Amino acid sequence: MTPRENLLACLSHRTPQWVPRGGSLTPAQSERLKEKSGGYDMRSYFKMDPLGHIGIGPTKLSTDFSSYHSYYPNPMPADKTRIDEWGIGWVRGSVLHFEDMVHPLYSVTSVDELKAYPYPDLDAEYRRAGMKERAEEHRKAGLPVVGYVTGVGGTIFESAWYMRGLENLLADMLMNEDIAAYHLDKITELAVSNAAYMAQCGVDVLFTGDDIATQRGLMMSPATWRKWLKPRLAKVIGAAREVKPDLHVWYHSDGDCRELIPDLIEIGVTILNPIQPECMDPVWVKKEYGKDLTLWGTIGTQTTLPFGTVSEVRETVKRMIDEVGGDGGFFIAPTHVIEPDVPWENIEALYDACREFGGTPSY
């Protein structure tokens, strides 16, 4: 089987030739990889499944967002700050790879101010140049074609609050509904356009997601999510499925989102990531929803990987493959990027166990 054939078998709940596997590293771990292998190619080194990514190109706009950062209490250090096309300022912290966020719409008080704001041109035709050709190249190479619905952090909710501020957006949903509706609709329009174009390119998997939960439960009431985010996400998925009815829809949310899994399935989600074992039992999720969902993740980056022994890592991988991946519908991976505190031998153990218990890829 090619990687594409194998993944599509898995996502269709047929037994794949090997259990697909993936993952990603923080910069500190990438440097360790270079020391070990001489390069940064994690997929080749660990024999992870290759994915054929497509996405829009960079913007040609050069927007001055400085007036939207005037509320920020301290001048942003020029040597540590980048401002993205959404107007969000990213300020490097003093520890590892973490950044602080500057929300350009933090002080907005009216819809008129939002109407004047320069939202990014994600749906501009020039940014789509070459996407269909790249998708076809991936297919010819035997790779599954995947495309992220372009946002910042997430598809709708995270993009919205990165711009507005989390507390402000949640308050808008309750007290400033006109502001919340306009802002969320603008972002949804961009996501709908990009999702439909991804489908035109023939993606096998449409990547979507928003962190809507903490490890203690949802970040908002189920009713609030169903009012504000569910119908908008449904529009995004519906726009893609109208073009390509058989595409698979991947949805990411960290935390415990069990309350909303039936809703996600209802609107067309077929893959759920990352299934954090610290707050969601993957075996339970598989038992309850495995006929409708592929589980993508399940290997804890807060418990098993940083604090487990090599034997415990191997045992966890074997248990997940045996109990979650028996009939397809399982892509094994860490539940987040592999952080600097994870011992290298545990990373090696993870992927060695994937090959031993989940099969060796044929590519």
Q: pLDDT of 134-160, one tens digit each?
A: 999 999 999 999 999 988 889 999 999
- CB 257 within 8 Å of CB 335: no
Q: pLDDT of 169-226, one tens digit each?
A: 999 999 999 999 999 999 999 999 999 999 999 999 999 999 999 999 999 999 999 9
User: Could you tell me the pTM of the whole model?
Assistant: 0.96
**Per-residue pLDDT averaged across 307-331, rounded?**
96
pLDDT value, residue 73: 54
- What are the two backbone dihedrals, phi and then psi, of residue 101, each rounded to the nearest 5 degrees? -115, 140
- The single-letter code of the amino acid at 105 is L
Closest CA relative to residue 122, chosen from 22, 63, 68, 55:
55
Q: How far apart are the C-alpha atoms of 320 and 338, rounded to whole Å?
A: 18
- What are the two backbone dihedrals, phi and then psi, of residue 187, each rounded to the nearest 5 degrees? -70, -40
pLDDT band at 347 (very low <50, low <70, confident <90, very high): very high
> Using H for helix, E for strand and C for coil, what is the string for 11-67?
HCCCCCCCCCECCCECHHHHHHHHHHHCCCCHHHHHCCCCCEEECCCCCCCCCCCHH
**Per-residue pLDDT averaged across 334-348, rounded?**
97
* Tokens (6 digits) for 351: 């992927």
* Tokens (6 digits) for 234: 């449904």
- CB 348 within 8 Å of CB 47: no
Strands 213-214 and 205-209: unpaired
pLDDT band at 260 (very low <50, low <70, confident <90, very high): very high
- What are the two backbone dihedrals, phi and then psi, of residue 193, each rounded to the nearest 5 degrees? -60, -45
pLDDT band at 79 (very low <50, low <70, confident <90, very high): confident
Contacts of 25 (CB under 8 A, 6+ apart): 33, 42, 337, 338
pLDDT band at 74 (very low <50, low <70, confident <90, very high): low
Q: Does residue 66 surpass a pLDDT of 90?
A: no
Arch. (CATH architecture) of 3-58+121-152+183-358? Alpha-Beta Barrel (3.20)
Strands 217-218 and 213-214: antiparallel
* Tokens (6 digits) for 112: 């008129």
pLDDT value, residue 153: 83
